[in-house]
Structure 1
Amino acid sequence: MATAQAVTGNLTATERGILTAINSGASSLSLVGSGFIVLCYLLFKELRKFSFKLVFFLALSDMFCSFFSIIGDPSKGYFCYAQGYATHFFCVASFLWTTTIAFTLHRTVVRHKTDVEDLEPMFHLYVWGTSVVMTVIRSIGNHHHGHISHVGAWCWAQRGLTGQARTWHVVQFITFYAPLWGAILFNGFTYFQVIRMLKNATRMAVGMSERGYQSDARPDMKALNRWGYYPLILIGSWFFGTINRMHDFIEPGHKIFWLSVLDVGMAALMGLFNSIAYGLNSSVRRAIYERFDLFPDRFRRLLPRNLRPRGQQQDSELVSLKTEG
């Protein structure tokens, strides 16, 4: 492991090995999922719209976050610091990119603005700049207290007295968990407003249209309901990690194995969850399916149903849904 008894607390060597295996396996799944979305963006020109560009940067951050998590568990020294900081930087960037997606959707649908593409430089400054600042603050705390802390990777807090360890946990909350839960609250509030407005607009459209439109509106409502699950990805990925950090603050050096398993496993799967929810939309499925047009029908039938496009509907695109009276 990256550290000694102070890191793993009361965990045995077998339990530490289990945690390492869980981290490597879950991070590998996230690496494959996010790498697939990055590859689709690079290969398929029709996906290079502004909305999917945000998903591309989200997947790119997840990919590097998963990669540095896989190469974790260094023995000691500067490699452990570099690995811990890189993981921290890209994990912070990941959940910050989700806020830009939520902001873009809200600005387009609720505020009816069409200038979102002009805000791309500001998005990059906000995401990468904030990630750098949080990582620098974290590194100052490491240098001052002389120990390393866990942020979903394998460089955990080591050495130092109990008081110093608790001080570092405060630094960790400030540089990671505070912005994380701020992003969760922002995404939840934003998607709530977007879904409420679009549902009201859809009801009005259905009421003013003939019966035939109602069946066409149902897939749109299903897509809207999916947006409501997006904030739950961050909650599910980091809820147990937050509880685990709180426990570490209260009882430093004493680890609960089952809580550590949920912490490591769910955090490492964040990239996979994001790639499925944000990336594997109807546009991606259509782009993949169209490439199979070059193959005989018997090969195309082998494609899973969830990869086959459903008409021309783009249920996950960040576009403004306009209701005409």
Structure 2
Amino acid sequence: MAASALAASAAASQSMKNREILDAVGTTAAALSLAGSSFIVLCYLLFRELRKFSFKLVYFLAVADMLCSLFTIMGGPANAFYCFAHDYSAHFFCVASFLWTTTIAFTLHRTVVKHKTDVEEFGFIFHLYVWGTSLVTTVLRSIGSDYGRPGTWCWIQQGSTGKILHLITFYLPLWGAILYNGFTYYQVNRMLNNATRMAVGMSDRSSQSDVRADKKAFNRWGYYPLILIGSWAFATINRLYDFANPGHKIFWLSILDIGFAGLMGLFNSIAYGLNSSVRRAIAERIDMYLPERIKRSLPTLSRLRSQQENELTSLIVESNNSITETTMRVTPRSSLAG
């Protein structure tokens, strides 16, 4: 009996150490995401030239990431009511985060592929879609949740009902967003490939340079769906494994789960927010206050000031114009060839 008690005590001690490690990993990752998303929010508020519709979507994405990270850091509550409030808040803003990425993908697709310029009219619809869907999934998530025994993560329950609801209300829309973003960026890239081939066929160098510049930016954006995959792949595997093997945790998988999911805000802030427009705005502010002798020693500063904007904040409108013009110039030749 003494040996059994000793073994139980050792197991409890190891479990406590594992929980402390997971808490530290999760808090560190969420803190990095909080810093990154807060930086993008601050840039949007300080720099008027960034307040365009395209970057406004990035701003709301950063706000959702910032609050998602904040409530993740505030995890591990000591009472049931606080756990209830924490679960609502963290779930709501984390769902809102990946839903905002779908509005960015939709905007690019509608502008580049469908050649529409009415994307700003969807502002209210985007808010209704993102915040409304987040609220519905959060309320559904609370059904069957047991907050009587809060632990390290409020959103994990031992009951199968809670686990199923978590998969339906979080991971189902998450992977739906991943598939939608991937399909959308695929169509955008295909459109730009066709435009490039048309420009080459016309030997129109100005069209070729415009479309190739646009395509270079879109090639980078094609990796954006990988942000959600990289952030939530381990979490998805961990949830499915926990559902199939309740009560049996894989420690290293839990570390990858907590770490990569917590870094989603940081990944989004770097990919979506830290573009040439933001870098140029920062460079211009630095240029205003730095002494001339210091500015001469910073070649990067002058390069950022002169860099052309080929990323999200301008390409949404410019690429539509260049592709439309290229298509219009090519269409007569195509009809004659037919």
| 1:296 is aligned to 2:291 | yes
Which SS does the other structure have where 1:308 is aligned?
helix
Q: Compared with structure 1, are the counterparts of its residues 17 and 83 closer, same or farther at alpha carbon in structure 2 (3 Å cutoff)?
A: same
Q: How far, CA to CA, are the matches of 2:74 and 2:300 in structure 1?
A: 32
Structure 2 partner of 1:195:
189
| Cα offsets for 1:130-189 (capped at 9, x unmatched) | 0000011111221xx556799xx821434x6xxxx1221111011100000000000000
Structure 2 partner of 1:70:
73
Contact 1:9-1:255 within 8 A present in 2 as well: no
Once the two structures are TM-superposed, the CA of residue 307 in structure 1 deviates from its matched residue by 8.6
Once the two structures are TM-superposed, the CA of residue 85 in structure 1 deviates from its matched residue by 1.4
Q: How far, CA to CA, are the matches of 1:18 and 1:223 in structure 2?
A: 39
Which SS does the other structure have where 2:143 is aligned?
helix
Counterpart among 101, 114, 119 of residue 116 in structure 1: 119
Q: How far, CA to CA, are the matches of 1:273 and 1:205 in structure 2?
A: 34
Percent identical across equivalent pairs?
63
Gaps of 5+ in 2: 1-7, 330-338
Greater percentage in helix: 2
Give the TM-score of the pair, scaled to structure 1. 0.87
Q: How far, CA to CA, are the matches of 2:206 and 2:117 in structure 1?
A: 31
Q: Which amino acid aligns with 2:190?
A: R
Counterpart among 13, 17, 21 of residue 18 in structure 1: 21
Structure 2 partner of 1:180:
174
Structure 2 partner of 1:33:
36
Q: How far, CA to CA, are the matches of 1:178 and 1:172 in structure 2?
A: 9
Q: How far, CA to CA, are the matches of 1:95 and 1:149 in structure 2?
A: 26
Structure 2 partner of 1:89:
92
Q: How far, CA to CA, are the matches of 1:147 and 1:246 in structure 2?
A: 24
| 1:224 is aligned to 2:221 | no
Structure 1 partner of 2:307:
311
Which SS does the other structure have where 1:246 is aligned?
helix
Q: Which amino acid aligns with 2:291?
A: P
Gaps of 5+ in 1: none
Q: Compared with structure 1, are the counterparts of its residues 63 and 268 closer, same or farther at alpha carbon in structure 2 (3 Å cutoff)?
A: same
Once the two structures are TM-superposed, the CA of residue 219 in structure 1 deviates from its matched residue by 4.2
Contact 1:100-1:123 within 8 A present in 2 as well: yes
Contact 1:11-1:255 within 8 A present in 2 as well: no
Q: Which amino acid aligns with 2:226?
A: L
| 1:134 is aligned to 2:129 | no
Contact 1:166-1:249 within 8 A present in 2 as well: yes
Q: Which amino acid aligns with 1:103?
A: F
Q: Compared with structure 1, are the counterparts of its residues 130 and 210 closer, same or farther at alpha carbon in structure 2 (3 Å cutoff)?
A: closer
Structure number with greater Rg is 2
Q: How far, CA to CA, are the matches of 2:247 and 2:309 in structure 1?
A: 53
Q: Compared with structure 1, are the counterparts of its residues 193 and 217 closer, same or farther at alpha carbon in structure 2 (3 Å cutoff)?
A: closer
Q: Which amino acid aligns with 2:231?
A: S
Which SS does the other structure have where 2:36 is aligned?
helix
Once the two structures are TM-superposed, the CA of residue 205 in structure 1 deviates from its matched residue by 1.9
Once the two structures are TM-superposed, the CA of residue 199 in structure 1 deviates from its matched residue by 1.9
Once the two structures are TM-superposed, the CA of residue 217 in structure 1 deviates from its matched residue by 5.6
RMSD: 2.6
Q: Compared with structure 1, are the counterparts of its residues 190 and 148 closer, same or farther at alpha carbon in structure 2 (3 Å cutoff)?
A: farther
| Cα offsets for 1:91-143 (capped at 9, x unmatched) | 0000000000000100111111111101110100000000000011111221x
Structure 1 partner of 2:103:
100
Give the TM-score of the pair, scaled to structure 2. 0.84
